[in-house]
Amino acid sequence: MTDQKLPENMKEKILREIREKHIAIKPKWQFVLKTILIIFILSIVAFYILFHTSFLFYSLHHNGSLFLPQFGMSGIKRLFWSFPWLWAIAGILLTVIFGIIIENKTRAYRFPLLYTVLAVIIVVTLTGVLCVILPIHTTLRKINAGAEIPIIGPLYNGLPENELFQTYIGEVSDLQKNSFTLINRNGQAETIYLEPQTDLPNDFQLENGVEVMIIGEEKAGCVEAEGIRALYGGYGQEIHERIHNNQ
């Protein structure tokens, strides 16, 4: 058999298969359905990643993690130990999977992978920050407190009030020379001892009714304060409301 006869053979073979209806053209609706399905899955995954990431930012804001760097290395160390690594790694994995789907199913392959990854990171981060600035999660948490939202409700229920490692947030009360009582966000009282080495900013006047964040070790049911910072602005107001409304 010469090489020149092969094209005829293959042509005839394929045409015979077609005539005998062993192979057929797939209907257009199959491809349309596949495209719709891909867009649907991509939208769901994208929506979930945005929710996942913004919830991470919100939970860091909610429990005060974002204020820990104000304490310097001691705060950063506590932030490291308190950081929700599992949640963050899950978010990164989801983003990678999303990137792979995008690369395979769209024309994103025309751009260097670095651009695609940077674009995804920027969009996800900005959306996460935006969700903290706009009270989306705060509103959802409040709605959930009234009637549990399906699927995402347990996430808001699980937002702990005092989950940070050796860190305490609340309102100063019953201030004495060397101690005070801290009313935390659950309305519980904790005794805080002020030590000579307790780190307090020069311009900060400790007084009753001020919302503060404290780092320190708990010993025999009391906390020896290593550092104290006032929670001014929106977050301080939020803590104040949470203590007084007990939300």
The site for other proteins (CB under 8 A) is made up of 6-7, 10-15, 17-19, 23-28, 31, 103-104, 109-115
Q: Give the nearer residue to other proteins in terms of CB position, either 15 or 152.
A: 15
Phi and psi, residue 5, nearest 5°: -80, -20
Measured N-to-C along each axis, helices 85-105 and 113-133 cross at an angle, to the nearest 10 degrees, of 130
Residue 14 Cβ vs other proteins, minimum distance, rounded to whole Å:
5
Q: Give the nearer residue to other proteins in terms of CB position, either 10 or 143.
A: 10
Residue 50 Cβ vs other proteins, minimum distance, rounded to whole Å:
24
Residue 121 Cβ vs other proteins, minimum distance, rounded to whole Å:
14
Nearest of 135, 138, 42, 142 to residue 94 by alpha carbon:
42
Residue 43 Cβ vs other proteins, minimum distance, rounded to whole Å:
21
Q: Give the nearer residue to other proteins in terms of CB position, either 5 or 219.
A: 5
Q: Give the nearer residue to other proteins in terms of CB position, either 13 or 244.
A: 13
Residue 97 Cβ vs other proteins, minimum distance, rounded to whole Å:
15
Q: Which amino acid is at 83?
A: F
Residues 6+ away with beta carbon under 8 Å from 192: 168, 179, 180, 181, 182, 214, 216, 222, 223, 225
SS3 readout for 20-52 = CCCCCCCCHHHHHHHHHHHHHHHHHHHHHHHHH
Answer for the pair 70, 229: CB distance below 8 angstroms, yes or no. yes
Residue 49 burial class via C-beta count within 10 angstroms: exposed 0-12, middle 13-18, buried 19 and up: buried
Q: Give the nearer residue to other proteins in terms of CB position, either 39 or 145.
A: 39
Q: Give the nearer residue to other proteins in terms of CB position, either 9 or 208.
A: 9
Residue 202 burial class via C-beta count within 10 angstroms: exposed 0-12, middle 13-18, buried 19 and up: exposed
Residue 104 Cβ vs other proteins, minimum distance, rounded to whole Å:
8
Residue 122 Cβ vs other proteins, minimum distance, rounded to whole Å:
16
Q: Is 64 helix (H, G, I), strand (E, B) or coil?
A: coil
Nearest of 235, 193, 245, 194 to residue 212 by alpha carbon:
235
